[in-house]
Amino acid sequence: MRVLRDRERLPAPARGAVVAIGNFDGVHRGHAAVIGAAREAARQAAAPLAVMTFAPHPRLFFRPAQPPFLLTRLRTRLALFAGMGVEIVHLLRFDARLAGLSPEEFVDGLLARALGARHVCVGYDFVFGHRRAGTAAFLAARLAQAGIGASIVAPASSGEGGDEVFSSTAARAALEAGDPARAAAILGRPFAIEGRVAHGDRRGRTIGFPTANIRLGPLLRPRLGVYAVRVHVGGAVHGGVANLGLRPTFGGDSEARLEAHLLDFSGDLYGQRACVELLAFLRPERRFEGLDALKAQIAADAAAARAALAGGCGARGPSL
C-alpha cells in the first residue's frame, strides 16, 4: 500500500483510481461499507482502490484545545486500510488551505484534475469544502459533469433492536459509558490502545503486579476503571487486566494512563509496541486505604478478568 501526501505530483499509476473519501476515524463498520463499495467499483473497473483521508482530523484543526476524542491513531488507520485491500492512501494535510477550498474547487481541482479519479465513494452524511457547504449529493452531481461516477453509501446499522447506525459518535458514546462490547459491535473489532510500553514508576513490581504502561496521547478516554483486556505484544497474545485512570491511591495523576498487567507472563516489555484491546469493564476506579487493600483488589480484579476472558468476551479476535 502506498501512502501519498503530495497531491500535485502523483505518479501515473496512482491516477484513475476509485477513491473512498472520509475521515474514517475508527474505521468502523459504516466506514467499511464505504470502502467496500469502492472496492467493488474498483474491481468492476479494473482500477486501483484508493482512500482519501485527512490528518490532522478536521476537528483538531478547528478546535485544537478540545479533549482527546480520536478512536484510532494514524498508523492504526493505515494498517486497517491495508487489511481492506486498499492500494493507495491519499493522506491530505488538513490545514487552512484545504479548509478554504470551495466545494467546486474540491471536486474540480482535487478529485477530477489532481487525482484523475475514476469513481468516488462517500457516505450519506459526507460534507466538505469551505464551511462544510458541499454535500454528498452536490459531489455526485458535480462529478457527473466531469464524466466521473460516484456512489453515495447508505448508513450501515446493526438491524437489531434499536437499529443503531454505526458511527464514530456512537462508538465514542459506548466507550465513555464503559461498554466496550457495544463499541466493538460498532467498530467490528475491540477498541484498542496502541503504543510503546513506557517506563512507569515501577510500583506495580513492588506489589507483585508489574504493568505495561501506555500513553493514550490523542485517543479518546473511555470510562475510567478496570478492564479485562487482550494484549498483543512481541508477536504473542496475552490475557490481562488493566487500569485506565488517574491512580487516586497514589495521590492522583493529572492525565489518565493505561496500566496493563499480563496474566501468567514475566518479562521485560519496555520499548516494545503493544496493542491493548478493552474487552469488558470490571469496575470503576477508586481509592484504596493502603497497599494491602490495593493488592487484594488487584488480585480480585485479575480473577474477574480471567473469568471474563474464559467466558468469551472479545472472542472476535484482533484486526491488526
Nearest to 40 by CA among 77, 106, 85: 85
Question: Residue 232 is part of a domain; what is its CATH number?
Answer: 2.40.30.30
Whether 182 and 148 map to the same domain: the answer is: no
Shared domain for 120 and 205, answered yes or no, is no
Give yes or no: residues 88 and 210 share one domain: no
Task: Identify the bridge partners of residue 237 per DSSP, sorted by sequence position.
Answer: 232
Number of domains within the chain: 2
At position 154, the amino acid (one-letter code) is A
**Is the pLDDT score of 163 beyond 80?**
no
In this prediction, residue 9 has a pLDDT band, given cuts at 50, 70 and 90, of confident
pLDDT at res. 318: 39
40 residue type, one letter: E
Q: Which of 138, 153, 168 is the last residue of a domain?
A: 153
Over residues 145-172, the mean pLDDT reads: 89
pLDDT at 69 over 50: yes
What's the domain range around 25? Answer: 13-153
Q: Give a yes or no: residue 251 inside a domain.
A: yes
Nearest alpha-carbon partner for 286 in 196, 199, 197, 226? 226
Cell numbers that stand for 314 in this block:
472479545
Percentage, residues of the chain above pLDDT 90 = 75
Residue 167's φ and ψ, nearest 5 degrees, are -150, 160
Per DSSP bridges, beta strands 273-284 and 257-262 are unpaired
Say how many residues make up the chain: 320
- Judgement on whether residues 183 and 148 belong to the same structural domain of the protein: no
Write out pLDDT tens, residues 265-288.
988 888 999 999 999 999 998 887
How far is the C-alpha of 65 from the C-alpha of 145, rounded, in Å? 40
Q: Is residue 168 part of a domain?
A: no
Decide if pLDDT at 41 tops 90. Answer: yes
43 and 123 fall within a common domain: yes
Write the CATH number for 61: 3.40.50.620
pLDDT band at 228 (very low <50, low <70, confident <90, very high): very high
d(CA 294, CA 206): 12
Looking at the domain assignment, is residue 256 inside a domain? Answer: yes
147 shares its domain with 273: no
How would residue 317 be classed by pLDDT, with cut points 50, 70 and 90?
very low
Residue 263 lies in a domain: yes
Q: Does 319 fall in a domain? A: no
* 193 and 135 belong to one structural domain: no
DSSP, collapsed to helix, strand or coil, labels residue 300 as helix
Is residue 299, in this structure, part of any structural domain at all?
yes
Same domain, 147 and 198: no
Judged by average pLDDT, the poorest of 7-16, 99-108, 185-194 is 7-16
- The answer as to whether 1 is a domain residue is no
Looking at the fold, whether 201 and 86 belong to one and the same domain comes out as: no
Helix segments in 161-208, DSSP class H: 168-176, 180-187, 203-206
Q: Average model confidence (pLDDT) for the chain? A: 90
Q: Percentage of residues in the chain with pLDDT exceeding 70?
A: 92
**Cβ atoms of 250 and 307 closer than 8 Å:** no
User: Does residue 19 share a domain with residue 148?
Assistant: yes
Q: What is the pLDDT of residues 180-220, one digit of tens each?
A: 999 999 999 999 999 999 876 655 555 567 889 999 999 99
108 and 221 in a single domain? The answer is no
**What's the rounded Cα separation, in Å, for the pair 130 and 97?**
10
Q: C-alpha distances in angstroms, 188 versus 41, 158, 184?
A: 22, 11, 6
**Residues near 236 by beta carbon (within 8 Å), at least 6 away in sequence:** none
Does 138 lie in the same domain as 57?
yes
Whether residue 117 is contained in a domain is answered as yes
Q: What pLDDT is attached to residue 23?
A: 97
